[in-house]
Amino acid sequence: MGNQPGSNLVNSPMKILSWVRGLLHPPSPEEQTRVVVDEEGIRCLRPDGSTHMVAWSDLQLVGVETNEAGPFIEDVYYYLEGREYGFYIPQCAQGEKKLVDRLLALPGLTVTHSRPQCVPRLPHVLFAGKRKRAN
């Protein structure tokens, strides 16, 4: 009897609530984004199948930006820039904690603060760090 279709939902009220929540509030694309941090660098895997990557050796700039879109939609993003291009990672991405831990441990990261005052609607850069290169 336990193998009948739908029986696993009937026997678990928490599964039912989770299923209903998924119907009413499906995860946003930002929440479905995954970040992979390893010895090579950082990869951002988006739900549409696109992938962005920066190698540790190419990382030039790290930033955290926020805007006025929250609290109901994502409003904090990490910006990573390599030699060729940059990309954003939403704070709610899966694997975000490992990303932050690794970024905070980077050697040669100089932290600066920038708060636009003349145009309050522009994104705020909470910090931007440029890596110093060894000669």
Tell whether 81 and 97 lie within a shared domain.
yes
CATH number at 116 reads 2.30.29
Tell whether 17 and 42 lie within a shared domain.
no
- For residue 11, what are the domain limits? 1-28
pLDDT per position as a tens digit, 4-13: 555 555 567 7
Q: Please determine, for residue 103, whether its predicted confidence score (pLDDT) is greater than 90.
A: no
Tell whether 9 and 44 lie within a shared domain.
no
Strand spans (E) along 15-123: 34-37, 41-45, 51-55, 61-66, 76-81, 86-90, 109-114
Tokens of 106: 């980077």
Tell whether 20 and 61 lie within a shared domain.
no
**Structural domain count of the chain:** 2
State which of 25-34, 73-82, 114-123 shows the largest mean pLDDT. 73-82
The amino acid occupying position 104 is L
Tell whether 39 and 105 lie within a shared domain.
yes
Tell whether 14 and 65 lie within a shared domain.
no
Q: What is the pLDDT of residue 8?
A: 55
DSSP state of 134: P
Instruction: List 111's β-bridge partners, or say none.
Output: 129
Tell whether 12 and 58 lie within a shared domain.
no
pLDDT band (50, 70, 90) for residue 128 = low
| Omega cis (within 30) before 123 | no
Has this prediction a pTM greater than 0.75?
no
pLDDT per position as a tens digit, 9-47: 556 777 777 777 666 666 665 777 999 999 999 999 999
Q: Please determine, for residue 66, whether its predicted confidence score (pLDDT) is greater than 50.
A: yes
Tell whether 21 and 67 lie within a shared domain.
no
Tell whether 72 and 15 lie within a shared domain.
no
Query: What angle (nearest 5°) sits at the alpha carbon of residue 79, between those of residues 73 and 84?
Result: 135
Q: Please determine, for residue 58, whether its predicted confidence score (pLDDT) is greater than 80.
A: yes
